Amino acid sequence: MADKEKTGYRGQEFSAFHRTQSVARFLSKKIAREMSTIDLDAVPYVIYEGDYKPIALIETVKDTGQSFKQTGVMRALANMAKIPAWLVIYKVSTKNNPEVDPKLGPIKDIVSFRVKQVAPTLDKDFTEMTPKEYCVFEVNVIRKKGIENLEANHLDKD
């Protein structure tokens, strides 16, 4: 993870570009409709035996009260990679994050999370977490289990 936010901005250009209407400028509308793309928000990783190893996939979304977010492609990818996947819904604070460089402009903080594992098992309910609980969850669940999974797979190959 980068130590600090570098730009305070995520470009929307590619998001707009890969939509059907935009792609149809260059290909037929039928082919443009068939081109499917998703973004993947986070891939926690560790350096294991000198290699970068992904240990989970995470889809994040701003909390608008929704109870569902499409995760089918991420689940399929996680199952292929034999790593877990999580849906993380975050609620934005009315206060700014005090650790963001003021040159980047004000960026709101996060006040809570709703987290659900979506692969290899699909949790029925979300677990609500404070920001501190989410950070501890990332270390104690995602990273520790990811390393355990790598070690188990390494032992299977011996």
Of residues 64 and 49, the one with the higher pLDDT is 64
Quickly state the pLDDT bin for 36 (edges 50, 70, 90).
Answer: confident
User: pLDDT (tens digit, 9 = 90+) per residue, 109-143?
Assistant: 999 999 999 999 999 999 999 999 999 999 998 88
What percentage of the chain carries pLDDT values higher than 70?
91
Q: What is the pTM of this model?
A: 0.85
Strand order in the sheet with 57-62: 57-62, 85-96, 108-119, 127-129
DSSP string, 81-120: HT--EEEEEEEEEEEEPTTS-GGG---EEEEEEEEEEEES
